[in-house]
């Protein structure tokens, strides 16, 4: 095995789950996320020796692939999702932490895809405005605007959906 291949395998082993999670949060579908990650890694392998920052490159390609998948015509998405989503309320006895994460995941799904990608990169991946702009190919001002609008939309969405459901927290 060559040094290049060994380095690549090590990179994939260390980053695969993180990249899959990033893709899933961007597109909302585990199968699409897996496809986006595998496609991104294939591109990265072909450019491994020419890319300076493998992590940033992989993140950017994964997010762009996941965004592209959400742009497919609705009928193709429906065919791909013929397994049908589980109805609301199936997780009736979930712990409060799990319930909150499920509500956050659903609220992220309701954001426009570019806002979702920016929010995920900024707050779940911990990228700066500059790094997010590079990853998505957006100007920094666009990243700031999408961040602001995305966070406001999440606040409104989560406030509306939790109103009346709030229970006292036990410390």
What is the span of the domain harbouring residue 112? 89-171
What pLDDT sits at residue 141?
95
The two three-digit tokens of residue 40, written as one number: 């991104």
Dihedral of CA 22/150/68/129: which sign?
negative
**pTM score, whole prediction:** 0.62
Residue 100 sits in the same domain as residue 144: yes
Q: Residue 29: what are its φ and ψ, rounded to 5°? A: -140, 125
The two three-digit tokens of residue 128, written as one number: 């700066």
Enter the DSSP assignment of 92: T
Of 56, 85, 114, which marks where a domain is finished?
Answer: 85
Of 62, 85, 108, which marks where a domain is finished?
Answer: 85
118 touches 136 (CB < 8 A): yes
33-65 per-residue burial string, b: 16 or more CB within 10 A, e: under 16? bebbbbbbbebbeeeeeeeeeeeebbbbbbbbb
136 touches 117 (CB < 8 A): yes
Residue 124 sits in the same domain as residue 63: no
What pLDDT sits at residue 162?
62
All residue ranges of the chain with pLDDT < 70 are 70-97, 162-171
Q: In 28-73, which ranges are continuous DSSP H helix?
A: 30-47, 54-70
Residue 80 sits in the same domain as residue 105: no
Of 55, 85, 115, which marks where a domain is finished?
Answer: 85
Residue 50 sits in the same domain as residue 98: no
What pLDDT sits at residue 73?
54
Residue 36 sits in the same domain as residue 103: no
Residue 9 sits in the same domain as residue 68: yes
Residue 77 sits in the same domain as residue 95: no
Residue 35 sits in the same domain as residue 63: yes
Enter the DSSP assignment of 88: T
Residue 171 sits in the same domain as residue 127: yes
What pLDDT sits at residue 160?
80
Enter the DSSP assignment of 167: -
Give the tens place of pLDDT for each residue, 100-118: 777 888 888 899 989 999 9
Residue 131 sits in the same domain as residue 143: yes
Count of domains for the chain: 2
Residue 128 sits in the same domain as residue 81: no
158 touches 107 (CB < 8 A): yes
What pLDDT sits at residue 171?
40
Residue 15 sits in the same domain as residue 34: yes
HSE value, Cβ hemisphere, 13 Å, CA-based, for 11: 20
CATH of the domain at 137: 1.10.10.10
């Amino acid at each position: 095995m060559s040094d290049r291949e060994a380095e690549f395998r090590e990179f994939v082993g260390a980053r695969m789950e993180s990249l899959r999670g990033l893709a899933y949060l961007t597109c909302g579908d585990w199968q699409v996320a897996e496809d986006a990650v595998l496609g991104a890694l294939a591109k990265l392998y072909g450019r491994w020796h020419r890319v300076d920052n493998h992590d940033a490159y992989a993140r950017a390609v994964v997010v762009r692939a996941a965004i592209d998948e959400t742009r497919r015509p609705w009928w193709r998405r429906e065919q791909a999702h013929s397994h049908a989503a589980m109805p609301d309320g199936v997780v009736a006895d979930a712990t409060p932490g799990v319930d909150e994460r499920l509500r956050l995941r659903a609220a992220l799904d309701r954001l426009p895809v570019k806002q979702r990608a920016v929010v995920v990169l900024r707050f779940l991946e911990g990228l700066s405005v500059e790094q997010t702009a590079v990853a998505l190919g957006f100007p920094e001002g666009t990243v700031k605007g999408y961040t602001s609008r995305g966070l406001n939309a999440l606040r409104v969405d989560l406030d509306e959906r939790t109103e009346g459901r709030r229970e006292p927290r036990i410390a």
